[in-house]
Amino acid sequence: MSSRGVFAALVTISALTGCAALEGGPKGPPPVRINEDPYPSTYARYPGVPTVIRHATVFDGEGRQINDGTVVIADGLIRAVGGPELTSPAGALEINGAGKWVTPGIIDVHSHLGDYPSPGVDANSDGNEATSPVRPEVWAEHSVWPHDPGFSRALANGGVTTMQILPGSANLFGGRSVVLKNVPARTAQGMKFPGAPYGLKMACGENPKRVYGSKGNMPQTRMGNIALTRQTWIKAQDYRRKWEKYEKDGGDMPDRDLAMDTLRGVLAGKILVHNHCYRADEMANMIDMSKEFGYRIAAFHHAVEAYKIADLLAANGICGAMWADWYGFKMEAYDAIKENIPFVHNAGGCAIVHSDDPNGIQRLNQEAAKALGDGIRAGVPNLSEAVAWEWLSRNPAKALGILDKTGTLAPGKMADVVLWNGDPFSGYTRPERVWIDGALMYDANDPNRRPVSDFELGQPGEGDVK
Amino acid sequence: MRRLIAVMLLTTVTPAAAQTFAVVGGTVALGDGSQPIAGGTVVVRDGRIVAAGGMPMKLPAGAQVIDARGKWVTPGIVAGFSRLGLSEVDLSAQGADDTTADGPFNAALDVVPAINPLNSTVAVNRADGVTRALVAPNAGKNIFAGQGAVIDTGADMDPITAPRKFQFVELGETGSRKGGGSRASAHVLFRNALREAAELRRFTAPVSATRREVPSELERPIVRDPNESRILGPNAGRSEDVLLTRFDAAALVPVLQGRQYLLVHAERASDILQVIALRREFPSLRLVLVGASEGWTVAERIARSGIPVIASAVNDLPAAFEQLAATQSNVGRMRAVGVKVAIGMIDDNDTRFLFNQRQYAGNLVALEKLPGATGVSWGEALAMITSRPAEAIGMGGEIGSLAAGRRADLVIWSGDPLEGSSAAEQVFIDGVRQPLETHQTRLRDRYRYLPGQRDLPEAYRH
């Protein structure tokens, strides 16, 4: 999944396909290969110094709590995590973490920052291409405004180091998502998480049928949602067959279709499906659909009724990205319960705390704390703060296909790390420092380590603590 | 299955008559801004607080004693600004949302007939310790949204604590939009409305209440129902050039006379100053600022005006051009220079997430440890979600604290109530213990164990 970055040129004539000519295949020029990475990441980590945090309480993101823990960061990577016995690299900055907590950076699997930025005016509203229910051709990254002030709040107040920016849910196929490092840049490319696979936003339920049904178009019903989605997958399968044949045998190049390129990527397992879906019965339909057409769903987003089918989600290896306590704002959220996250966890599933909100993204740790408290009170066994941290970094990294790179404090992973000034499951706690790839991107004690967006320069409150 | 039924029986408490009881041994916070008291006692009789604090107390004869050791005890949370009870479901659910009226009337609208005490949002918030709420209508076609009420969240059919307690008007970005596309237009509409009310005022009875900053309980302004006033009679003449219906103009008479509070929504610093300036023009208005995201930039002028503020607690994004200077330190900075600040949920999931107030209050405490930020003390943070909103509309003598004589709205919490991980374990309203069961808890119990017994479908688990 992670080798997407190797495609270099805009359109590459592949030497490999020359074999076809040697084998006496169809005449003509070698097949054209579609560049799968035409807007490549230009993100490069910022300089950091070797850093050792000692005497802190560490949640490693894999369910483990280390008291009097030590975390060693160097060359942008986690070098070691353990107890006081760990030695420091030469010249390392030593930080006394006594009374403080260290965790992996929080990963929000569901954000619209940059696509629905602040200020929330029509001119900047770029999250839903609500002109057709099938829009897999749009890419969220092409809407991302890197100067959205919300990024800085998510960093400084929320300890968020990585986010998936998704198109909205007006469409059955909303378009491609993009995974960003929460490091300010001049361009969206400058924030793109290197090597992260693309995602495809899909939606079921109320939104598509409301947006299009109200205009007298399909879909107007949930059965219309499913029918149109299936019909689109049938087209995608056909497109895939044509292109695979062409890439194997050469001949006339099939027509290129941006929308179908994305769906083909899903069918090939290169692009991960992030499916907005609230109700249990609809999630079950989408699971069957994924089997019908041969793709996998990485995560159901919102998944308000995940608790009703937690066993089904676990059996199919599908994550649930959920809120702690959002409820009732629409019919498909009517059956929300506060134990949704811990119940999905308890069934052996992959539970994620997500925000879908520029304010909520600043408090994901507190949302996890609420869900944890509710789970413990409901008698869910073996819950702890260290275990619940999996909902904030490990599981979202898994859903995004980047768990081999970040999401836990395992040695060799990117040093995306938060030092909290207390227990992050307390509402009285704030991030004190945040490192991304080992570079100190936020320091509560240093106003020069606080990003200020272009938009906020010269405005009232510029550079305030926010 | 048997286990579930047993749990349900335990948690199903039918509202009973107010009892005499004492809550002992808990960490007691009074809600008046003071710090919590370990091992405190709260004594309740006939639905009112008799005494609360750390001093030794003689318990009334026959008082039921509730052991709260290891627990926290506070006044019930007061939702400082809400649409609680107005909407069961907010989107695409006909008949379930009464937040906004877009008919011919505006200021005359009275939110009371729209409030449904059996709304599931009432139960969900009650189960999280919210016991009272200021409920405002949403502005429809006019800057005047109508008259708001104070309600309780009790499991009974009598939710209204104080009807028509305040008028709500939009004088910021929303006011500009509703008021003709410009703030200039909105302000002329506002002044014209008060002019039309003044014309009708001469048909009303004289106002006798003397004005004080915080009226005593006895002198609380009694807002008579303007819809039934003599100003609607056949002798009440009006000019030809009127914009408001007679009903709407009549509804503004108590506002003009200072008998009904006027809650004004404004976020931008310059909008806030325009609201303060209304004081000079209409000295009898009892103004309360709602929102005030940029209040910190003009905090001293708000403080000098004496106008209380019901603010959003933690909005820190330039989400609109009227709140470019938004910061979580807004509340703390206003408070630091003497502004009377309460917390409300202004346009922030105001129909259903009032329980977030305690989380937000805790977040303001967190700011005390953050360099460059201004937070508030724990005691003050609790006050901002209990007594301060009550005081902002002159009801501090009735609700919002555990001071003697107040209505006995109290919550026994599993831990520190400003921590989201804590839960309300017992909730009392007017001294009556409340059920904490909700649609959500029933669903939780039904689906706690999956796949469960398969001899019958889940629908038979109840």
Which residue ranges make up each domain of chain B?
2-74+423-446, 77-399
Tell me the ipTM for this assembly.
0.93
How confident is the model at residue B227, as a pLDDT?
A: 54
The least confident of A79-83, B20-24, B247-251, B452-456 is B452-456
Q: Which residues of A touch B450 (CB under 8 A)?
A: 308-311, 347
Nearest by CB to residue B89, choosing from A334, A338, A421, is A334
What percentage of residues in chain B have a pLDDT greater than 90? 81
Structure confidence by residue, pLDDT tens digits, B131-177: 999 999 999 999 999 999 999 999 999 999 999 999 999 999 999 99
Residue that wins the pLDDT comparison between A24 and B344: B344
Structure confidence by residue, pLDDT tens digits, B375-386: 999 999 999 999
How confident is the model at residue B232, as a pLDDT?
A: 60
Residue B96, pLDDT > 80, answer yes
- How many pairs of residues across A and B have Cβ atoms under 8 Å apart? 170
Helix (H, G, I), strand (E, B) or coil at A410: coil
How confident is the model at residue A18, as a pLDDT?
A: 39
pTM of the predicted protein model: 0.92
Whether residue B328 and residue A325 make contact (CB cut-off 8 A), yes or no, is no
Structure tokens at A282: 């609809």
Q: Which residues of B touch A378 (CB under 8 A)?
A: 444, 448
Report the alpha-carbon distance of residue B143 to residue B189 in Å, rounded.
8
Report the alpha-carbon distance of residue A41 to residue A144 in Å, rounded.
14
Q: Which residues on neighbouring strands pair with residue B74, listed in sequence order?
A: B411
Q: Does B444 touch chain A (CB under 8 A)?
A: yes
Q: What is the mean pLDDT of chain B?
A: 90
Which among A370, A433, A452 is the top mutation candidate for probing chain B, defined by the most B β-carbons within 10 Å of its own β-carbon?
A: A370
Nearest by CB to residue B421, choosing from A308, A328, A369, is A369
How confident is the model at residue B225, as a pLDDT?
A: 56
Structure confidence by residue, pLDDT tens digits, B219-231: 333 445 555 555 5
| Mean pLDDT calculated for residue range A35-43 | 97
Nearest residue of A to residue B320 by CA position?
A119
Domains B2-74+423-446 and B77-399 in one fold: no
With tokens 């009598």, the residue in question is B158
Whether residue A337 and residue B315 make contact (CB cut-off 8 A), yes or no, is no
Beta carbons of A209 and A224 less than 8 angstroms apart: yes
Report the alpha-carbon distance of residue B402 to residue A343 in Å, rounded.
37
What percentage of residues in chain A have a pLDDT greater than 70? 94
Beta carbons of B326 and B294 less than 8 angstroms apart: yes
pLDDT band at B348 (very low <50, low <70, confident <90, very high): confident
Nearest by CB to residue A369, choosing from B92, B414, B420, is B420
φ, ψ of residue A310 in degrees (nearest 5): -60, -35
The least confident of A101-110, A241-250, A304-313, B203-212 is B203-212
Q: Does B95 touch chain A (CB under 8 A)?
A: no
Q: Which residues of A touch B328 (CB under 8 A)?
A: 157, 465-466
Give yes or no for a cis peptide into A119 (omega within 30° of 0).
Answer: yes
List the one residue out of B37, B77, B44 whose CA is nearest residue B381. Answer: B77
Domains and CATH numbers, chain A: 2-34 (no CATH), 106-401 (3.20.20.140)
Whether residue A465 and residue B349 make contact (CB cut-off 8 A), yes or no, is no
pLDDT band at B423 (very low <50, low <70, confident <90, very high): very high
| Mean pLDDT calculated for residue range B212-216 | 47
The least confident of A311-315, B58-62, B265-269 is B58-62
What percentage of residues in chain B have a pLDDT greater than 70? 88
CATH architecture assigned to B2-74+423-446: Roll (2.30)
First to last CA, chain A: 38
CATH architecture assigned to B77-399: Alpha-Beta Barrel (3.20)
Structure confidence by residue, pLDDT tens digits, A425-441: 999 999 999 999 999 99
